[in-house]
């Protein structure tokens, strides 16, 4: 039996993370992370339509990051899908996004 479910996600791009298949030091702008170092949870794949994918890609390009979050988990797009991913740097990016500007204001 095939069951289709739908859920609404509020995803935003964070950080300045760029995924690379080669040497991350070759990334000129932002932080490069090798795709092979990322834990990709294929079982979490969610199909998205073309309109949603284009909108997400536009937001990611404007932010300069390949990383999306809902405030708890981390995601990226993969050819018509959104997939949950993990890496130690992602939590640091979220923390910086949430508290970085406040910390800079308070402590310079």
pLDDT, tens digit, 9 for 90 and up, residues 18-47: 888 877 666 667 788 889 999 999 998 999
Considering the domain boundaries, does residue 92 fall inside one? yes
What total of structural domains would you count in the chain? 1
Considering the domain boundaries, does residue 4 fall inside one? no
In this prediction, residue 105 carries a pLDDT of 55
Considering the domain boundaries, does residue 72 fall inside one? yes
Considering the domain boundaries, does residue 6 fall inside one? no
In this prediction, residue 57 carries a pLDDT of 93
Q: Mark out the alpha helices in the chain (DSSP H runs).
A: 50-63, 88-95, 101-107
Considering the domain boundaries, does residue 49 fall inside one? yes
Beta bridge partners of 20: 34
Whether residue 6 has pLDDT greater than 80: no
Considering the domain boundaries, does residue 76 fall inside one? yes
pLDDT in tens, 49-95: 999 999 999 999 999 999 999 989 999 999 899 999 999 989 888 88
- Beta carbons of 71 and 9 less than 8 angstroms apart: no
Considering the domain boundaries, does residue 93 fall inside one? yes
Considering the domain boundaries, does residue 52 fall inside one? yes
- 99: domain range? 12-107
Stated pTM of the model: 0.81
């Amino acid at each position: 039996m095939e069951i289709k479910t739908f859920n609404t996600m509020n995803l935003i791009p964070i950080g300045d993370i760029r995924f690379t298949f080669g040497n991350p030091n070759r990334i000129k702008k932002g932080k490069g992370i090798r795709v092979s170092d990322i834990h990709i949870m294929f079982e979490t794949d969610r199909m998205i339509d073309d309109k949603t994918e284009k909108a997400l890609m536009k937001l990611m390009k404007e932010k300069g990051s390949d990383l999306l979050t809902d405030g708890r988990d981390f995601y990226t797009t993969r050819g018509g899908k959104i997939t949950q991913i993990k890496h130690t740097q992602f939590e640091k990016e979220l923390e910086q996004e949430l508290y970085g500007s406040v910390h800079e204001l308070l402590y310079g």
